[in-house]
A = this chain, B = another copy of it.
Amino acid sequence: MQIALLIYPGFTSLDAVGPFEVLSRLPAADARFVSAGGGPIEADQPNFVLPSVPLSEVTRPDLVVVAGGSTTQQYLENETILDWLRTAHESARWTTSVCTGSLLLGAAGLLTGGRATSHWCELESLRVFGAEPVSERVVVHDRVITSAGVSSGIDMALRLVDLLEGAEYAQGVQLAIEYDPQPPYDAGSMAKAPQAVAEMVRGVFKEHYGPSWAEVQSAKTD
């Protein structure tokens, strides 16, 4: 079971590591991080670096997971990555994304005409790629699974384990990582967060990361 987790400079650490932790527990799992050129890849927070192998060395993975990050927009026209995604998807059992990773699936043409999700900050940008954005935690469409922001990769990966190995195995993995979530607040989505918090975080994101991909494209057209 070859599992390729695609990362790039500026990826978000938990986007990649949540699914890694879960999917490494599949039978005969061979999970590895892959990147355009291979080598150590820095995350979007300082002091976090993961080793990776070049895309050219993992051409027929069984599972593909694309991590999101603060820099995803910079890779949406990277043909090395997009070509690899298209080719890998032809033979993969499942092609998946966490957070803004779904923009890369969209740019590769893998979401056209389908329902998909992303981090709330880029959810509307999925329309640029002909997808229907839906505000759900995990969205399964055809052989593609997209999931919401950062921490959603854990839920997505458990869903994937369920699809591949069935309920008992998926529950076993959940128990192994003791995933019985109890956040101190119920503020983890735009619909649930208090309005003042939602506005504050939207402002911080706008300031740190700039306009969404949809806004960038719309500005080009004007």
Q: How many copies are assembled?
A: 2
Residues 41-64 of chain A, each 1 if its beta carbon lies under 8 Å from chain B, else 0: 000011111110000000000000
Whether B152 and A178, one on each chain, are in contact in the complex, defined by CB atoms closer than 8 angstroms, is yes
- Name the contact of A45 in the complex, choosing from B20, B99, B162 (C-beta under 8 A): B20
Q: Is the CB of A185 within 8 A of B172?
A: no
Max chain B Cβ within 10 angstroms of own Cβ: one of A47, A148, A198: A47
**Given A170-B185, A171-B193, A171-B194; 15 other pairs, CB 8 A cutoff:** A14-B20, A17-B17, A17-B48, A148-B180, A152-B180, A155-B183, A162-B185, A168-B196, A171-B187, A172-B204, A174-B185, A174-B188, A175-B189, A178-B188, A179-B181
Q: Tell me if A110 counts as interface (CB < 8 A to partner B).
A: no
